[in-house]
Amino acid sequence: MLQKVSGFIQSHRLCQPESRILAAVSGGIDSTVLCEVLHQLKYDFAIAHCNFGLRAEEAEADQVFVKKLAKKYGVPYFTENFSTRAFAEQEKLSIQMAARTLRYQWFEQVRRQEGYDYIATAHHSNDTTETILLHLTKGTGIAGLHGIPPQNGHIIRPLLSVTKDDIYDFVTSEKIIWREDSSNDTTKYQRNKIRHEVIPVLKEINPSLEETMRHTAERVSHAEAIVEAYIGNLREQTVKEADNAVYISLVPLRNATGLPVVLHELLRPYNFSYTVVLELVEALDGLSGKQFDSPTHKLVKDRDQLVLTPRNLSSFGSTAIQEGDTAVEAGNLSFSIRYVDAALYKLNTKPHVAALDADQLKFPLKLRPWQEGDWFVPLGMNGKKKISDFLIDKKVPANLKPQTLVLVSEQSIAWVAGHRPDNRFKVTDKTARVMEITMQRKPA
């Protein structure tokens, strides 16, 4: 399998031997194999892992497993916790789409900040088949028929030429251990229904279904390149970027052949669905000011142009606090930080202020929204308490609960911001240095 993957990387020019690669790793069989392949092919890689806060203890165990995997290979490890349900509810997205939006935005953020050349995902040949069938079932354009491309910008898929059977053979021969995601077995998700109930029937007709689909996807990709050349010319005439916004002039598009398809292609980098594009086309002759949404952007029709602005997704992730930081911002909240000699410190017991034993904290700290399954030991107590129960006891209104942030040291919660510190990090007579962190809401 190593030769197959290496040949695929070279033939598609996915990366160079000296490239620095950020591997997206869930801990499942596919991404664990991706790590072993990158290791054996001697690539310089790091591991990035997302905890979407959807499976409580199981997700925590995945996080621990992936951290150990990074230690095994001696590579850098990056992790992020997301409030996926809150994001999905606010943006009216499926959980799967919300998770996809958040993780790719974060992967790109890490890639840029840490200086990696590519983001590698563990998609394989079976994923291409599932993706094409799913798109056909729900309705799609040309882009939906090319399946999963080997490369999309900085994202590469080194395993795309291998099948799931190849992967199982590899883990057997290499004696690889991985984490099994229990959600992969349920058919309540559309992709799983395709995988477990539809594909087996199609393979009775064509046992080489994955290979056939891969060749079809390649031919569609060539046809798509012809369309993209036409769209590229229009993009040069119509699209401009300035002041963190994208402006699309409607004047050159008025007489374009197949306007809905043209607009969909122009807006595809900003994740607008074809259904939304059809609504937009109907509104082009209407009044200015109508708004349209994608998971990552907002679009407003303004006279003879469309104006796109990115959403702020950071409030659904986390904010890092490095030792020595004096201020950070998280969404509409600001936090000021100071360090004081314990002998000189006068305790502040207000709920928006936390006094913590600085030497018990493990930096970098993280400020993030609380998640189902989170727990802490409230100050003054010896036993742990679920944050969901704590917020109920505090009578926090339902619409304010998702906005509650927690300060995390490694995997332990040190403070439920605005409410109560954790007893394990309290200031005691043995404390040498106090970290005081104060929360303030920014003016509207």
Binding residues for ATP, as ranges, are 26-31
Q: Facing residues of 65 across strands?
A: none
DSSP 3-state of 71: helix
Q: State the amino acid at position 299 in one-letter form.
A: L
Q: Which residues are annotated as a binding site?
A: 26-31
Whole-angstrom distance, CA of residue 187 vs CA of residue 223: 34
CA 265 to chain centroid: 23
Residue spans of alpha helices (H) in 289-432 = 387-393
Largest CA distance in the chain: 79
Instruction: Look at residues 321, 316, 314, 350 and name the one whose alpha carbon lies nearest to residue 335.
Output: 321
Q: Lay out the sheet containing 365-369: strands in order across.
A: 319-321, 365-369, 405-409, 412-416, 420-421
- Please confirm whether the linkage preceding 364 is cis (ω < 30° from 0): yes
Whole-angstrom distance, CA of residue 18 vs CA of residue 39: 13
Q: Lay out the sheet containing 155-156: strands in order across.
A: 77-81, 44-51, 20-24, 118-120, 155-156, 151-152
Q: Facing residues of 439 across strands?
A: 335
Q: Residues 122, 159: contact at Cβ < 8 Å?
A: yes
Q: Residues 309, 291: contact at Cβ < 8 Å?
A: no
Whole-angstrom distance, CA of residue 111 vs CA of residue 115: 6
Q: Residues 220, 146: contact at Cβ < 8 Å?
A: yes
Strands 365-369 and 420-421: unpaired
Q: Facing residues of 63 across strands?
A: none
Handedness of CA 18, 23, 27, 28 (dihedral sign): negative
Q: Residues 133, 140: contact at Cβ < 8 Å?
A: no
